Amino acid sequence: MKYSISNWIYADEPLHATFQRLQKYGYDGLELVGEPQKYGPEEVNQLCREFDLQVFSVLGWSIWPLERDLAHPDPQKRQKALNYATECVDLAVAVGASLVVVIPASAGRTSPIGQPDSEKAWKEAVAREWGYAVESVWKAATYAEQKGVLLAIEPINRYESFLVNSTAQGLRFVQEVNSPVVRLHLDTFHMNIEERDPAGAIREAGSLLVNMHVSDSQRGPVGHGHTDFAAIMKALKEIGYQGALTMEPLPPEPNALLAVRIEGYEPLRDAYAEECITRLRAYEKAVG
């Protein structure tokens, strides 16, 4: 298994410090937050050589209300989101990452646009936005296919999106887009809320699963919650998972975006990076 950390959890930390930490604790690589203007590929590639690490994935950063919403009913806004997705694909190519994580409607948007008030209107609006998102991802996929990059659809929990919350919905979405480069991403924190059986969800995803986010049930490091990582590692082995385990351990503060910016928690970064990889490696070993 390959071990990685998603660098959005380090907020504005200079990349050099992140690479140092990853190397120190034996990680294989990282996930780079999808901010193409922020990173010079030359610097990233230089750091990869210096620390012998890889960029495994680019995390599409489509936090509402940024204009990066692939499901938005306004065609101009969808076009902007599509442009952003292609920029992420370009970034992936430039830094040698094999995939971009895609959330089909902005994270943090828990209702269709217009907040329809009747049951019927809500249902119709969700269906329309689902259709827009499928179309947007299909367009992004035609570009990604040319560039040899995968798009990994991430279901996120009900409090962060109204559109794709579960593995079953994610698989249906992937199937409807129907492109060879569109696959699935799963996240242990979100699965704890949405899946009847998180390990079962991984089996359902099977060979379509190309990237994983890992944090414990309360979004802290592995071992701080009650997620059954033994069962998860076993399921990953069963499906022959070849992707990365991308850690996202957060400090104990309810708001994720704030948690990563509180200075008082910075000393936890090393400890969490170490705990996550140590514990998961032990589970990996235990399942053989």
* 197 touches another protein (CB under 8 A): yes
Rounded Cα–Cα distance for residues 147 and 181 (Å): 10
* 196 touches another protein (CB under 8 A): yes
> Which of 34, 198, 221, 249 forms a contact with another protein (CB under 8 A)?
198
* 234 touches another protein (CB under 8 A): no
> Which of 48, 63, 193, 287 forms a contact with another protein (CB under 8 A)?
193
> Which of 261, 278, 281, 282 forms a contact with another protein (CB under 8 A)?
261
Rounded Cα–Cα distance for residues 211 and 66 (Å): 24
3-class DSSP state of 11: coil
* 40 touches another protein (CB under 8 A): no
* 217 touches another protein (CB under 8 A): yes
Contacts of 138 (CB under 8 A, 6+ apart): 177, 178, 179, 182
Catalytic-role residue among 195, 248, 275, 284: 248
Contact predicate 244/211, CB 8 Å? yes
Contact predicate 100/88, CB 8 Å? yes
Complex with another protein: residue 142 or 255, whichever CB lies closer: 255
Give catalytic status of residue 154 as yes or no. yes
By C-alpha distance, which of 218, 262, 266, 209 is closest to 240? 209
Q: Which of residues 129-168 bind another protein (CB under 8 A)?
A: 157-162, 165
3-class DSSP state of 173: helix
> Which of 119, 180, 240, 288 forms a contact with another protein (CB under 8 A)?
119
Rounded Cα–Cα distance for residues 156 and 215 (Å): 13
Catalytic-role residue among 154, 194, 195, 284: 154
> Which of 109, 139, 183, 224 forms a contact with another protein (CB under 8 A)?
224
Task: Enter the DSSP assignment of 177.
Answer: H
Give catalytic status of residue 248 as yes or no. yes
Rounded Cα–Cα distance for residues 75 and 123 (Å): 20
Residues that bind another protein (CB under 8 A): 110-111, 119, 122, 157-162, 165, 192-198, 217-218, 224-226, 254-255, 258, 261-263
